[in-house]
Amino acid sequence: MAGPELDEDYRDLVATVREFADEVVAPVSAELDARHEFPYEITRQMGEMGLFGLPFPEEYGGMGGDYFALALALEELGRVNQSVAITLEAGVSLGAMPIHRFGTEEQKSQWLPQLVTAKALAGFGLTEPNGGSDAGGTQTTATLADGTWTVNGAKEFITNSGTDITRLVTVTAVTGERQGRDGAPAKEISTILVPSDTPGFTVGGAYDKMGWNSSDTHPLFFDGAKVPEGNLLGDRGRGYANFLSILDEGRIAIAALSTGAAQGCVDESIAYAQTRTAFGQAIGKNQAVSFKIARMQARAHAARLAYYEAAHKMLAGKPFKTEAAIAKLVAGEAAMDNARDATQVFGGYGFMNESLVARHYRDSKILEIGEGTTEVQLMLIARSLGL
């Protein structure tokens, strides 16, 4: 990567994923969405293509690439199907990446070869009924006795947690007390690996969501679920802190997905405006329409530059927390704004569920909520300004 220009390897990746998105994913997207059906076959093909393994070392079955390569793939998939894109994004950044970053060699050897090839999926259980962005609200507990962790509690809105190929979830849980910054007692939060077949671990029914209908999302329940002491992921008491670092990276990935959604709305609107006629001419001849699409393109372009810069800093080993927050904020809003404007360009056709812009309109709202709300991004940016 060199600024906004892509090196040849990146360009080849973009071309490959774009062809896959247009020829394999797009034709079945409306049907999958209507049936609320998880894209098993597409996921399998993405695994065979190496997309789940893009940022992981070859020794674990990965492609030996980097996080920016993943972001580029997510942008191309996000253009045509956000559910497919988030399946990849969550499978990598929330499923496999915590194990890669913080796992022991034994944990990596056990789980990564399955996860980086999409032979298995993993979820990350953070959000709870009374706690998501607020770590102090974590109520799930994990108690250690006689070499065994016993997990009790509940999680909600967990992606990739209930598919036929889900093999584990990583769970944040209170494992004790520590001294807070103000000297007062605070919750010690750690992360525990819980395989899907663990007795006492139950996956609740799938949510009836407004969008991302082909993405897998479930609540999780832990009632005396017991796992070995060695299933602790990373250092005890560092669970939430480690997850925050994973989330910084994930915001770049979500920004890339959002940019793809924003660009998809542009592409669909251009094609429609050039062929739809009213009052004797294509509607794209009208400034009211052409200016709207021009503004949409400006949003997508700004979002792309924002996530490119965040990724560039990340790969260079420089601090990138603020840039990731900016990218997530700008791109998420671009996706939502472009979906609204594209629906207006399409008129009544944009209100039909089978149209791509309608799916983007329903899907894009979560991009301003998931992996850190718009308000969280604003808070992070404000803090970086000393406010």
The CA distance from 64 to 48, in Å, is: 15
Alpha-carbon distance of 15 to 379, in angstroms, equals: 36
> DSSP string covering 52-81, please?
TTTTS-GGGT--S--HHHHHHHHHHHHHH-
> Which runs of E-coded beta strand occur in 268-307?
277-278, 281-282
CA dist list (Å): 235 to 2, 38, 131, 241: 36, 34, 22, 10
CA angle (151 as vertex; 147, 155 as ends), nearest 5: 150
Q: Cβ neighbours of residue 17 under 8 Å, at least 6 residues apart? A: 49, 51, 72, 73, 76, 77
Helix axes 26-35, 356-363, angle to 10 degrees: 60
Using CA atoms, how far apart are residues 218 and 157, in angstroms rounded to an integer? 6
> What region does 5 belong to: left with phi over 0, alpha with psi -120 to 50, or beta?
beta
- Burial label for 101, CB within 10 Å (0-12, 13-18, 19+), is middle
Q: Which residues are catalytic?
A: 371
Q: Name residue 151's beta-bridge partners.
A: 142, 225
Enumerate helices (H) and strands (E) in the chain, giving the number of each: 12, 10
Cβ atoms within 10 A of the Cβ of 34, count? 13
Which tokens in the block code for residue 263? 């660009």
